[in-house]
Amino acid sequence: MTETIFSKIIRKEIPAAILYEDELSLAFRDVNPQAPVHFLVIPKKPIINLSDATEADQSLLGHLLLVANKVATQEGLTGFRLVTNNGAEAGQTVFHLHIHVLGGRSLNWPPG
């Protein structure tokens, strides 16, 4: 996997507004928020996107969802949306798996 801004954030080479961290994951505020509350949850393990996850990542993927819920609760969100872009065609710009958590306002559907 190539170096990304997220790998630099994980190593603390670039500052980020970290909301949560454990041995498997990191959650931090998005620098270009699309909602009043917008943060990212990333695995510390370098996985390019969801398509590159394997059966061995099953527990890690579930962990990321639980972290998203935990941080959303800490942020006072009762309703929120999770978004994971998979590939450039879907709008992925950082090629390190990440979950966007958006909330703090009414979110329209369909999102695209």
- Among 38, 63, 96, 98, the active-site one is 98
Say whether 43 sits in a helix, a strand or coil. Answer: strand
The verdict on whether 98 is a catalytic residue reads: yes
Structure-token match 């949850």, residue found: 41
Q: Are strands 37-43 and 99-103 parallel, antiparallel or unpaired?
A: antiparallel
Question: Can you name the residues that pair with 40 across neighbouring β-strands?
Answer: 28, 100
Q: Find the DSSP H helices in the chain.
A: 5-10, 58-74
Question: Which residues form the catalytic set?
Answer: 98
